């Protein structure tokens, strides 16, 4: 049998009360009180429908996303001057296509090259090195940096290339922040591993500094490579494809809300002034990057730490890894003051 959910529309204000009482007499249980015009009661409607969402298509991707995953992986390589970006691109291609050299600032414009890795199409984008803004004086270099940032916007996954002989500097964190703010998936690669001093403590040091420095996203992949010898490049590319998949993932609403209930139960939201913040439901509004809207009452009072808790457990429990996640809170109005 098809389940029936009774909805009483035009329920705003006092005018609807009589109709709601009449609707109760129909024998379908309490009606969901809705005002389609005023946008009220949507949270209640969703709650009433939630038990029936279980049979929702379990395929985690919609058709559009699948097309996107068959399309070339748009992979931009960014970093400070001299990190070895162009050398890395040459090593991937297996030929000296880019000009490289020991002086900083050799690449001036972003260059996109179509390539294939293990039969999968990749659009590689080499970019100009990005120095600290205060040091960028001449006009040409400014244009180069703007061009590199443009490549970030165009990419799906961005590799931030570090120089193992220099370690992680504040400029690297600034670039990483920028990539995440743009909603791109980030991978960090530690290049020149062939000449790294004291590799294991270097690796741990960079890992720890990333954990402290990139507070908005935890656990960004860190991969050691050598553009010179080719070491680590396969690992880098498989991480890049994996990351794009997470970045493109859609979680079915039923699964998402089962997670949501568990997360709230494990760590209930606070009750400022004795009034509990009620979290009703969550829905994924888009992917690339994954974006969610949480509906509830008094959610405008939710502390940032609780938002972080939700985003972090979403990442951990639903396999989003370290891709940037957008979360918006929305409070539907309810004239009846129901919880």
Ligand X SMILES: Nc1nc2c(ncn2[C@@H]2O[C@H](COP(=O)(O)OP(=O)(O)OP(=O)(O)O)[C@@H](O)[C@H]2O)c(=O)[nH]1
Contacts with Mg ion by CB under 5 A lie at 85-86, 106-107
Q: Which residue is nearest to ligand X (CB)?
A: 129
Q: Among 166, 195, 271, 285, which residue interacts with ligand X (rule: CB under 6 A)?
A: 195
Nearer to Mg ion among residue 228 and residue 327 (C-beta): 228
112 binds, among ligand X, Mg ion, none (CB under 5 to 8 A by kind): none
Using CB under 6 A as the binding rule, whether residue 112 contacts ligand X is answered as: no
Task: State which of positions 224-243 bind ligand X (CB under 6 A).
Answer: 226-228
Q: Give the shortest CB-191-to-Mg ion separation in angstroms.
A: 12
Q: Give the shortest CB-96-to-ligand X separation in angstroms.
A: 11
Q: Give the shortest CB-221-to-Mg ion separation in angstroms.
A: 23
Nearer to ligand X among residue 142 and residue 262 (C-beta): 142
248 binds, among ligand X, Mg ion, none (CB under 5 to 8 A by kind): none
Contact region with ligand X (CB under 6 A), list: 35-43, 94-102, 113-121, 237-245: 94-102
Q: Give the shortest CB-109-to-Mg ion separation in angstroms.
A: 10
Q: Among 33, 35, 82, 284, which residue interacts with ligand X (rule: CB under 6 A)?
A: 82
Instruction: Give CA–CA dist 142/177, Å, rounded.
Output: 19
Helices 253-266 and 304-318, packing angle to 10 deg: 130
Q: Among 33, 110, 191, 243, which residue interacts with ligand X (rule: CB under 6 A)?
A: 191
End-to-end CA distance of the chain: 31
Instruction: Give CA–CA dist 161/158, Å, rounded.
Output: 9
252 binds, among Mg ion, ligand X, none (CB under 5 to 8 A by kind): none
- Give Cα separations from 163 to 124, 158, 168, 203, 334 (angstroms): 20, 16, 8, 12, 56
Instruction: Give CA–CA dist 62/288, Å, rounded.
Output: 12
In this structure, what DSSP letter does residue 157 have?
E
Sheet containing strand 185-191, edge to edge, reads 111-117, 120-126, 73-79, 157-163, 185-191, 222-224
Using CB under 6 A as the binding rule, whether residue 192 contacts ligand X is answered as: yes
Instruction: Give CA–CA dist 332/189, Å, rounded.
Output: 44
Instruction: Give CA–CA dist 163/146, Å, rounded.
Output: 22
Count the site residues for ligand X by CB under 6 A: 23
Q: Give the shortest CB-137-to-ligand X separation in angstroms.
A: 16
Task: State which of positions 122-151 bind ligand X (CB under 6 A).
Answer: 128-129
Q: Where are the beta strands (DSSP E) in the chain?
A: 7-8, 32-33, 73-79, 111-117, 120-126, 157-163, 185-191, 222-224, 278-286, 291-297, 326-330
- Give Cα separations from 133 to 32, 137, 175, 239 (angstroms): 56, 8, 11, 30
Chain residues binding ligand X by CB under 6 A are 81-87, 100-102, 104-107, 128-129, 191-192, 194-195, 226-228
């Amino acid at each position: 049998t098809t389940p029936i959910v009774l909805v009483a529309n035009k329920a705003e204000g006092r005018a609807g009360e009589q109709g709601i009482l009449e609707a109760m007499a129909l024998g379908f249980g309490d009606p969901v009180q809705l005002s389609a015009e005023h946008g009220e009661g949507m949270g209640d409607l969703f709650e009433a429908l939630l038990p029936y969402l279980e049979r929702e298509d379990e395929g985690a991707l919609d058709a559009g996303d699948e097309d996107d995953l068959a399309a070339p992986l748009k992979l931009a390589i960014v970093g400070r001057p001299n990190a070895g970006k162009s050398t890395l691109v040459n090593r991937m291609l297996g030929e000296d296509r880019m000009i490289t050299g020991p002086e900083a600032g050799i690449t001036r414009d972003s260059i996109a090259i179509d390539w294939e890795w293990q039969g999968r199409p990749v659009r590689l984008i080499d970019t100009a090195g990005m120095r600290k803004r205060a040091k960028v004086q001449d006009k040409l270099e400014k244009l180069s940096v703007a061009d590199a940032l443009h490549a970030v916007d165009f990419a799906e996954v961005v590799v931030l290339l570090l120089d193992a002989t220099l370690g992680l500097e504040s400029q690297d964190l600034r670039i990483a922040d920028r990539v995440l703010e743009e909603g791109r998936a980030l991978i960090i690669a530690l290049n020149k591993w062939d000449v790294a001093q004291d590799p294991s403590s270097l690796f741990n040091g960079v890992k720890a500094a990333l954990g402290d420095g990139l507070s908005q996203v935890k656990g960004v992949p860190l991969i050691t490579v050598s553009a010179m010898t080719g070491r680590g490049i396969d690992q880098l590319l498989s991480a890049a494809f994996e990351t794009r998949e997470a970045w493109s993932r859609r979680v079915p609403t039923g699964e998402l809300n089962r997670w949501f209930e568990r997360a709230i139960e494990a760590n209930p939201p606070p009750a400022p002034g004795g009034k509990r913040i009620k979290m009703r439901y969550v829905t994924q509004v888009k992917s690339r990057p994954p974006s969610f809207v949480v509906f509830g009452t008094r959610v405008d009072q939710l502390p940032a730490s609780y938002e972080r808790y939700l985003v972090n457990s979403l990442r951990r429990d639903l396999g989003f890894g370290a891709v940037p996640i957008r979360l918006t809170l929305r409070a539907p109005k309810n004239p009846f003051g129901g919880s």
